[in-house]
Amino acid sequence: METKQLELFSENDFDPPKVYFRKTNDWVLIDNLDRSNFDATRNIHYQLVVNTIRGQIYDENSAESRPIYYDKMANAITVTEYLMLASLLKEKGPYLYNKKLGKPILKNR
């Protein structure tokens, strides 16, 4: 009779969380989900949504962070856009995106 060994941790438990930065028009969508299968994830809000022109930042509890069908066509951001996004979050928003934790955290003011 074969016995199964209890596995406390999987191989992926200690990997850094995957983060997706996608851009559509002047909106940057930050999330930890791969939205390639949009129909399966359309009811799950983005972690952060940032308007790079107006400097508006919305978290996953706001209505603006709900995915729409057009988000399916979003493209990955460039390094320049990533650095601009980091400075925008640092200067204007109440959140910073902690890439190690894979989620937005409130800034200490």
Sketch the domain layout of the chain as residue ranges: 17-106
Query: CA angle 50-55-59, nearest 5°?
Result: 35
CA proximity to 33, closest of 55, 51, 48, 50 = 48
What stretch of H or E contains 76?
strand 75-76
pLDDT, one tens digit for every residue, the chain (109 residues): 566 666 676 666 666 678 899 999 899 999 988 888 888 888 999 999 999 999 899 989 999 899 988 888 899 999 999 889 888 888 888 888 887 777 888 887 5
Q: How many residues does the chain have?
A: 109
